[in-house]
Amino acid sequence: IAMGGISSQQGNTFVKYWMYPPNSALQKWGPDIIIHSFSTNDSLPPWGQTEDLPGKVYRAARAGLEQFVREALQIRSPLEYTTDKCSATTVPPPPPPLVIFVDDYLGHQQDSVLGELSYNTAMVQIANWYQTHTMAISYADVVRDLVYQNTQETTFSAQWHSVNPRTRQPEFQVEVHFGHYGHMSIAWVLAFGMLELVTQYCDDAENLPSQHQNDNQEEGQPLTTTKTTATTNILPPRLTDSLSLEAISQEWFTPPPRSNRGNNNNTTTTLDCSKVNNAREKSSTTETEQTQPNANPCIMAWVAGPVGLNANGVNQVMRQHNIQNNGWKVETDTKDGWKQKIGWVATKAGASFVFELPRISKDIHVVSLMYMKSYGEKWKDSRAKITIVDASSSSKTNTTTELEGSHEPQVSIAFTEEIHLTQPVLQQSNLQLHVELMGGTTFKILGLMVCAW
């Protein structure tokens, strides 16, 4: 689900809202392994600031990494599984996925070496904090000594030394994109890390059998463990500045708040147990999936791009659900590649549209928009007002926010805005999304998620 110009924030959205290829095992059960590789954009210093950039990048990276890993480790929560209502047997949840953090960032986005190491520091810390289900692999650490001893080399790093075309003077430029040798090296480093992981796991299984398998366990049976723990909570407390040593033991065994997650009883299919049991009598396998609630929290979740909807797909979705449109269309320019080229775009000042989802199948608490911020005259003063309306309510309750589509950095970056509704739009209601361009002449929407939490 990789896309250009995105960060941990969008990766978190993809995982949280199950934005996987349709009709795939991923969409049905979720992933077993997640490779997180947003190090370059997560290392971007805040624009226009000069004080304590190493600290600011570190804190932002740590927060983004932690939010991602906590979301990833909860996508198969026991709260989303239930007892088989027709056989009184418990349907156990699959184990959480393995999250692999990959650091492929070397710079250059700020002058401080400590600042350029900030993401790596945060990544290692978060991987160690959530170590049972995470691992960290760093291409940057493998080649860093070679690069820092000669910053003019361009085999493993970007070309930082150049000549200013206007002044003809040498300069040390901001650049993060290295060539194909560097990208090939990343693949080899990742492959080595995975091989080392498997080797260590198999070595432990061979030399520490008591921790994995009972003596009387038959061959071919699932591995069991004799190790017991005081809690089934897989998440340690959040690693924040306020977490104290005095309170950590209590917080460690306190289940994290889960908002509306798993609270989808109104969407669980009613089972006819006589039909289910008759089917089981005719089959040697138990179709437990029939009794499992839908773990996907969204009634709609799409993103434009190579792993999401193409231009025709976006156009089809918008035509199907738009009940008003004044000046919005699909942008299809991919002549220079996929990066940020497909989206739902305003084409004139004051452009607006109304998007409706009739008779929704879940109670909706959150609507998220993925959108692009860019720079230059075209994007000057770009600003859109977003209003979510319960069109079935007599009072037409709504939630409104405004999003900026332009910024100073000379780079186009995707952002995600989670809009938490002041009042949920209830099942069987008609949900409407009203979008109006309040400033500038363009705005680009890259994705839309309409979800229970």
The pLDDT assigned to 263 comes to: 47
Average pLDDT of span 259-274? 47
Taking each helix axis as running N to C, give the angle between helix 180-207 and helix 139-149, from 0 to 180 degrees, rounded to the nearest 10. Answer: 130
Q: Per-residue pLDDT for 240 more than 70?
A: yes
The angle subtended at Cα 117 by Cα 116 and Cα 118, nearest 5°, is 95
What is the C-alpha radius of gyration for the chain, rounded to an integer number of angstroms? 25
Q: What is the pTM of this model?
A: 0.75
Q: Per-residue pLDDT for 334 more than 60?
A: no
The pLDDT assigned to 266 comes to: 43
Average pLDDT of span 184-189? 95
**Looking up tokens 């608490």, which residue turns up?**
365
Least confident residue range of 27-36, 282-291, 296-305, 364-373:
282-291
Q: Per-residue pLDDT for 89 more than 70?
A: no
Between the alpha carbon of residue 250 and those of residues 63, 236, 244, 318, the distances in Å are 22, 11, 11, 49
> 293 Cβ partners below 8 Å, 6+ apart?
80, 81, 82, 264, 265, 267, 268
The pLDDT assigned to 91 comes to: 57
- Residue 211 has which token pair? 């921790």
Least confident residue range of 54-58, 68-72, 151-155, 329-333:
329-333
Average pLDDT of span 325-332? 91
pLDDT tens digits along 403-415: 999 998 878 888 8
pLDDT tens digits along 204-213: 877 775 544 4
Q: Per-residue pLDDT for 197 more than 70?
A: yes
The answer to whether the CB of 143 falls within 8 A of the CB of 106 is: yes
Q: Per-residue pLDDT for 324 more than 90?
A: yes
Query: Which residue would you say has higher pLDDT here, 214 or 167?
Result: 167
Least confident residue range of 67-81, 106-120, 302-316, 322-336:
67-81
Least confident residue range of 38-52, 222-236, 381-395:
222-236
Average pLDDT of span 142-158? 94
The pLDDT assigned to 182 comes to: 92
The answer to whether the CB of 53 falls within 8 A of the CB of 330 is: no
Q: Per-residue pLDDT for 222 more than 60?
A: no
Average pLDDT of span 371-381? 92
Residue type at position 254? T
Between the alpha carbon of residue 277 and those of residues 83, 269, 293, 294, the distances in Å are 15, 16, 18, 21
Give the percent of the chain with pLDDT over 90: 48
